[in-house]
Every structure is written in structure tokens, then in C-alpha cells.
Amino acid sequence: MSAAGRVGRMILGSTLAIVTIAPSSRAAGATAPIPAAPPAAPPVHAVKVTILSTMLAGDAGGGIGEWGFSAVVEADGHTILYDTGARPNTVMTNARELGVDLSGITDVVLSHYHDDHTGGLLTLRRELLKANPTALSRTHVATGIFLSRRESGSEHEANSMIALRPEYEATGGRFEESAGPAEIFPGVWLTGPVPRTYPEHNVSGHAQIPTAAGPKDDDIPEDQSLVADAEGGLVVVSGCAHAGIVNTLEYAERRIRKGPVQALIGGFHLFPADDRTLDWTAGKLRELNVLNILGAHCTGIEALFHLREGAGLTRKTAVVGAVGATYTTGKGIDPRLLAR
């Protein structure tokens, strides 16, 4: 090894830094180590998330509620529709009432296969392509979403995505499937399938996945969230967090960027959770430095209040998600009237 030392390669965030490492016994006149470059700045400057489908209508004239989820995510000029609600027309109706134009959106993200997140896709695509042939023409999914599902003891196919796929593709749309984290726009990531580090039991129902070795319980392996790497911290949007909301956040921090998590938005599937589970989850959210929660869909109202207290948040920073509610970087949560 030369007196000048050796050259090492280090991954810092998303930046590759070249660092000169001096020998352990430095010779006279040896070159001093070059300081490692700091992690690259977050690539996203501004994010706005608007909820278009959830159980609670935010105020009069502000849409209709349903058991489902959908949100529009705007990040530095790129706009994404995350999930499409349950009933075919809910998202379209709510978007029109709220003055949200969906016709210019090309990209859709589906969090998982359940009907309350995919029910509006085909109707939205068919309606919006009349104004723009590229509207909702690219749908991002994670590996596993097209797996066959059967209810226990039944031969009936329970995964409607299998039948929906050819119908959507017949309109000119296409699915893009990812087996791991994927950056779909600068600084806007999909987690892809999330490893189940903690045994968060955020799955309900009795569906099974047929395999060559026999049926296995359906733990929704394709569950994925959207993460914006933004100034002020990560903005994370979840459909149901069937992989576990803590698993999801820790995975996002490992693969994208260390927190804080400036906003956690969507469904966390905690409505059936007991106090012990909620205490543990809230403690983890506090450890992960979650600054704002807009808990919608399957989070549960009582569960949201429990998380608020345990995570050390307030009435302004932990709010039940309603149709029309927004989170905007630099401004925080606008919960609409009913959840204020």
C-alpha cells in the first residue's frame, strides 16, 4: 500500500463517495484522509397528499365516505394516484367535488390486491382516457399481486386482480411489477414487498395462496407503500400496511433514507389491535421520530387516538383521515371540518 493510502468506496444515502483511507501507521508527510462527503440532500422539495377515498367525509360537499382508500400524491410536479378506492365511482366523484383533476395523471400505484384498494381502477381508466389516452395508463404493483387466492375450503378465485388485468391492458394500460424498492420519479419510491422483521399481525380474513406444497395462509406478500424522500423527512403513504407499519417504516429508512418521518398517511390496519399492540406500535413510532400522522381507512379511530398519545403527538399532528384531508410539506395537516 502506498504512503498516500488506499482508495475506498462508500455508499452514503444514494451518493457514491470516494474516500482516501490513510495507512494505520502513517509515514512522515503522508496525505491526510479526505473527509467523507455528507449524504446527498433529499431530492424532493415539496409534497402534497390529498385523500380521495376513506370512511369519513370531511365536510358537507367534500365527497362521500366508503370502506376503501385512495390518495393523490404530488411531488415536485409529478402526480401519482395511490390506490383507487372500493366502489367504481367513489374516487371519480370525490375528485370532482374536491376540484382535483385526475386526467393528467399517468401513474397509478396499487398497494395490494384487495378490492377496497383496486375497485375504481378500471372505471377511472376508461373514463379518463376519453380526455387523455395516457391517463392512468401505467400501474405500479409489487410481485405477488397476481397470485391466486382461495377462501378456506373454497375453489372460488378471491383475487379480482387476475380478471381485471386483461381488461385493463385491453384499454392500452400496462402493469409494471417490482420485486424490490423502485424509484418511479426522482426521490419518489415504492418499497416493493416489505420484509416482516417484526410479527405485526396486520392481516385479517381466511384467504390462502395455493402452492405446489399445498395452500399457505395469505399474508399479502405484495403489500407496498409509497415513500417521498423530501426536505424535512420522509413522507410515507400506506394502503393498509399489511406488512406492518413499523416493518414498513424501518425498511424505508434502511433502503431509502434515515428519518425523521415527517408524515405517515393512510391505512395501518390497527382497528382490531389490542392496547398492548397499540402501545408497542406507538413506542416504535416515537423511536422512529414520526412527526405527523393522518390515519385513515383501516387504522381505526380509537387506535389513532391511542397512537397520538403514545407517540407524543397532538391534536394538530395526529388526525383521523377524512375525504379531502391533506398533508403539505411546510404546512402540515388540513383535516377538513369534521376531524379538526
Give the CATH number, domain containing residue 276. Answer: 3.60.15.10
- The arithmetic mean of pLDDT across residues 2-29, rounded, is 39
Is 102 in contact with 73 (CB distance < 8 Å)?
no
Question: Which regions of the chain does DSSP assign to beta strands (E)?
Answer: 6-12, 15-21, 47-53, 70-75, 78-82, 107-109, 138-142, 150-151, 174-178, 182-185, 188-190, 207-209, 216-217, 226-230, 233-238, 261-266, 293-295, 318-320, 326-328, 332-334
By mean pLDDT, which of 2-16, 55-69, 97-111 is the weakest?
Answer: 2-16
* Residue 40 or 123, more confident: 123
Residues 29 and 160 in one domain: no
pTM recorded for the entire structure: 0.88
For 116-133, write each residue's pLDDT tens digit.
Answer: 999 999 999 999 999 999
- The arithmetic mean of pLDDT across residues 142-165, rounded, is 93
Residues 121 and 254 in one domain: yes
Q: What is the mean pLDDT of the chain?
A: 90
Peptide bond into 272 cis (omega under 30): no
In a domain, 339, yes or no: no
Q: Over 80: is that where the pLDDT of 186 sits?
A: yes
In a domain, 5, yes or no: yes
Residues 24 and 168 in one domain: no
Residues 261 and 299 in one domain: yes
Residues 124 and 257 in one domain: yes
Residues 125 and 13 in one domain: no
Q: Over 60: is that where the pLDDT of 158 sits?
A: yes
Is 208 in contact with 218 (CB distance < 8 Å)?
yes
Is 199 in contact with 242 (CB distance < 8 Å)?
no
State how many domains the chain has: 2
pLDDT the model gives residue 8: 38
- The arithmetic mean of pLDDT across residues 84-96, rounded, is 98
Residues 91 and 167 in one domain: yes
Paired sense of beta strands 78-82 and 182-185, if any = unpaired
Please report the DSSP string for 272-332 in residue order.
T--HHHHHHHHHHHHHTTB--EEE-GGG-HHHHHHHHHHTT--TTTEEE--BT-EEETTTE
Residues 59 and 2 in one domain: no
Residues 5 and 69 in one domain: no
In a domain, 340, yes or no: no
Q: Over 60: is that where the pLDDT of 94 sits?
A: yes
Enclosing domain of residue 34: 1-40
